[in-house]
Amino acid sequence: MPTGVAIRDVRGQLFDAAERVLHRDGPSALTSRAVTMEAGCAKGVLHRHFADFDAFLAELVLDRIARIDDQAAALRKAAGTGTVADNLTRALLGLFESVAVAVVSLVTSRDGLRARLREARPAGVPILTDAATAIASYLTAERELGRITADADVDTLAPTLIGAAHMLFADRQGIPPEAGHVHKVVTAVMAGAEQEPPR
């Protein structure tokens, strides 16, 4: 891109470019040069907005976590509607068909990035931990509505659902699982917890 041409929403363009590289080529191909080439800008643009590449990657992860917060709000709003299994299936498909699997690979493959993220998020794997929190919040709402059993352990069910779904989607280059396969896993994990609400 020629010098002097303004780029609107530089951070957003760089994040989207990084996401495309991550999806297409995996975490080992994610370099500052690959990102700026994908975004169609000079390499210096990235370094003008971020202290270094790990700082850029940390901001990318945090930006994608913010998207999970939006998904979490929508999921919690769904409490009391449809079926619990259908709501969870949609939420898991939305999460894992996005960049979640690639971001988890990125975080686990880069020590410097993990160290930066630990400063603000001392426990768990970013994205997966946030998604489990969102699902636990939704399940708590469903438990209060009587649509899952009063003794359902939402703090165990939520990470179990995340882990099971992550296993289905973990092969970045494979064919993503069908909704019916995800629904089957959700139904198995939730067996004994979902119930008809009292009338």
Per residue in 87-129, pLDDT (tens digit) is 999 999 988 876 677 787 888 888 888 878 877 766 667 778 8
The span from the CA of 80 to the CA of 143, in Å, is 10
- Tell whether pTM > 0.75: yes
Based on the domain organization, do 152 and 172 belong to the same domain? yes
Based on the domain organization, do 112 and 155 belong to the same domain? yes
Is the separation of the CB atoms in 56 and 116 below 8 Å? no
The span from the CA of 164 to the CA of 88, in Å, is 12
In a domain, residue 125? The reply is yes
Q: Containing domain of residue 32, as a range?
A: 8-49
What mean pLDDT is predicted for residues 61-74?
A: 84
Q: Is the pLDDT of residue 161 over 50?
A: yes
Q: Is the pLDDT of residue 8 over 70?
A: no
Based on the domain organization, do 44 and 122 belong to the same domain? no
Based on the domain organization, do 76 and 36 belong to the same domain? no
Q: Is 173 left (phi over 0), alpha (psi -120 to 50) or beta?
A: alpha
Based on the domain organization, do 171 and 95 belong to the same domain? yes
